[in-house]
């Protein structure tokens, strides 16, 4: 028996010395192909935040184009740093970085409270830069607090993000916030564009191959915009006037303004983003069977912080690992982090092409709204999936979810309550995502942490042995209860 055991374990020991799929350097043609696939799967979601914020603040088309280019450029740099790793910055995992949806509502509240337009952007950027610095410095400590953010918290936060952003998508489907109060808002034509785009995406997912499904949102935006152009509802004149090459300059709109309450609001956003990134890092660890520890989480969070500071300097926004691309890694089974590096190079190239940004800015609001419904709905669905790992038969976990959802809906259903608050406090609390996430974190502390209840940890020995979440399967991770 001992000899038989030795023969069985020897190959396993030798296999551990092989290059892990995450660290495999693929041939350049394959890197380019798989990297461009990540860009296509990521592109629509990457640009939706600057589009939503720019429209809400009343920016001109040219200013909106600059926001999109700055976003893509920063996404590329951030993704390269996260995947490749520089010093103690970057998880060295196949994680694509993009602007977090969590920041949309708080940034709109901050920007409009500061008067809107580019003046509002300056206050947003001051808060973004400060919060990015704090995230970078706080990363090592936060990585040791992972046990205080079990699946019930991470799942609740992601579900709240999706649920609270869907109304934003529906507002665009009706024609955009700028049409509220006019006969065109909610017109049959606008709803037809939105519904047609959404149905086209659903059809591609239903009948398409995996690659086609991963590009369904992009194809939906192209198809919807094309139909609107044929019917005379799209003007590509700005695209023709845009330059082919443009460089994003630091502080393009002026020097940032640093104000206390907007900074507090963005610090809360980054706290929630750190919870989200932590969940994403563990998710990609399960998919790739690569061990994730506190140091890995700390390096990932430092990358978020550094990218967020860079975003504030280069006229962009807070950054986080994109869940959409984590799903693509699972579907394609291509786990090399160098594929994400290649994707980052493509993003930088796109960020230097103003014509590409102006083309995206020309997408009609209803078409964008129809596509956004599916994307924000997917975010909520990912949250529900993570909640499936929590024991919701336990009353305390159920209350964490229930009360947090209620808190998240408060700003959108009883807006006058927040209208009576001082502007600074409104910037912190007048966001369903912020309020709901803070409620989930606080209730978990009260119900689980302060009472000494055990929290779930992933058994990484099983992960590395291939017992959990094999790519392409629906396997759930194996959990153990510490202590």
Lowest mean pLDDT among 32-46, 85-99, 274-288, 362-376: 32-46
Q: What is the pLDDT of residues 155-172, one digit of tens each?
A: 888 788 778 778 878 888
* Contact yes or no for 160/437 (Cβ under 8 A): yes
Report yes or no: 154 and 279 within 8 Å, Cβ to Cβ: yes
Mean pLDDT of 203-210: 77
Q: At what angle do helices 323-332 and 28-56 cross, to 10 degrees?
A: 150
Q: Is the pLDDT of residue 478 over 60?
A: no
pLDDT, position 257: 92
Mean pLDDT, the chain, whole residue set? 79
Q: How far apart are the first and last CA of the chain?
A: 34
Residue 481: left (phi > 0), alpha (psi -120 to 50), or beta? beta
> What is the share, in percent, of the chain residues with pLDDT greater than 70?
81
Residue 466 scores a pLDDT above 80: no
Confidence band, pLDDT 50/70/90 cuts, at residue 12 = very low
**What phi and psi values does residue 479 have, to the nearest 5 degrees?**
-115, 150
Question: For residues 372 and 198, what is the distance between their CA atoms, to the nearest angstrom?
Answer: 9
Q: Over the stretch 35-84, which tens digit does the pLDDT of each residue have?
A: 887 776 677 667 778 888 888 888 887 788 788 888 989 999 999 999 99
* Cβ neighbours of 246 (radius 10 Å): 18
pLDDT score of 443: 92
Are 95 and 284 a contacting pair, CB within 8 Å? Answer: yes
Largest CA distance in the chain: 82
Percentages of the chain per state (helix, strand, coil), in multiples of 5: 70, 0, 25
What value, to the nearest 5°, has the Cα angle with vertex 333 and ends 283 and 458? 25
Overall average pLDDT of the 81-103 stretch: 89
Residue 35 CA to residue 46 CA, distance in Å, equals 15
Which pLDDT does position 474 carry in this prediction?
36
Average pLDDT of span 445-461: 66
> Are 440 and 302 spatial neighbours (Cβ–Cβ below 8 Å)?
no
pTM of the model: 0.71
Residue 11 has pLDDT above 50, yes or no: no
């Amino acid at each position: 028996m001992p000899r038989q055991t030795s023969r069985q374990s020897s190959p396993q020991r030798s296999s551990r010395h092989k290059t892990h799929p995450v660290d495999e350097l693929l041939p350049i043609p394959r890197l380019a192909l798989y990297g461009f696939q990540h860009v296509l799967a990521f592109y629509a979601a990457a640009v939706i935040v600057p589009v939503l914020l720019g429209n809400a603040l009343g920016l001109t088309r040219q200013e909106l184009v600059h926001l999109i280019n700055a976003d893509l450029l920063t996404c590329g740099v951030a993704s390269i740093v996260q995947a490749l790793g520089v010093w103690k910055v970057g998880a060295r995992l196949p994680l694509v970085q993009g602007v977090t949806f969590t920041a949309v509502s708080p940034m709109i509240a901050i920007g409009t409270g500061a008067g809107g337009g580019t003046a509002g952007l300056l206050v947003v950027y001051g808060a973004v830069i400060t919060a990015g610095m704090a995230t970078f410095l706080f990363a090592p400590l936060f990585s040791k607090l992972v046990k205080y953010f079990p699946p019930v918290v991470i799942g609740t936060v992601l579900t709240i993000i999706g649920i609270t952003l869907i109304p934003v998508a529906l507002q665009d489907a009706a024609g955009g916030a700028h049409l509220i109060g006019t006969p065109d808002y909610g017109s049959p034509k606008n709803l037809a564009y939105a519904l047609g785009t959404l149905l086209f995406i659903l059809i591609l997912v239903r009948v398409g191959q995996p690659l086609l499904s991963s590009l369904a949102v992009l194809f939906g935006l192209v198809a919807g915009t094309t139909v609107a152009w044929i019917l005379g509802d799209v003007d590509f004149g700005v695209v023709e006037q845009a330059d082919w090459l443009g460089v994003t300059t630091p502080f393009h709109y002026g020097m940032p303004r640093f104000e206390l309450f907007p900074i507090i609001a963005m610090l809360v956003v980054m706290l929630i983003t750190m919870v989200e990134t932590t969940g994403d890092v563990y998710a990609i660890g399960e998919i790739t069977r690569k061990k994730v520890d506190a140091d890995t989480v700390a390096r990932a969070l430092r990358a978020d912080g550094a990218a967020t500071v860079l975003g504030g300097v280069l006229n962009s926004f807070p950054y986080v690992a994109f869940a959409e691309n984590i799903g693509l890694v699972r579907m394609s089974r291509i786990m090399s982090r160098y594929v994400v590096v290649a994707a980052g190079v493509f993003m930088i190239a796109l960020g230097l092409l103003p014509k590409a940004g102006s083309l995206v800015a020309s997408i009609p609001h209803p078409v964008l709204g129809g596509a956004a419904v599916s994307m924000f709905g997917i975010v909520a669905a990912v949250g529900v999936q993570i909640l499936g790992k929590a024991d919701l038969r336990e009353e305390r976990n159920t209350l964490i979810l229930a009360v947090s959802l209620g808190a998240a809906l408060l700003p959108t259903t009883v807006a006058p309550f927040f209208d009576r608050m001082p502007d600074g406090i409104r910037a912190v609390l007048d966001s369903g995502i912020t309020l709901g996430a803070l409620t989930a974190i606080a209730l978990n502390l009260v119900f689980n942490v302060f009472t000494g209840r055990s929290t779930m940890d992933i058994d990484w020995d099983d992960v590395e042995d291939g017992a959990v979440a094999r790519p392409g399967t629906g396997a759930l991770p194996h959990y153990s209860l510490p202590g």
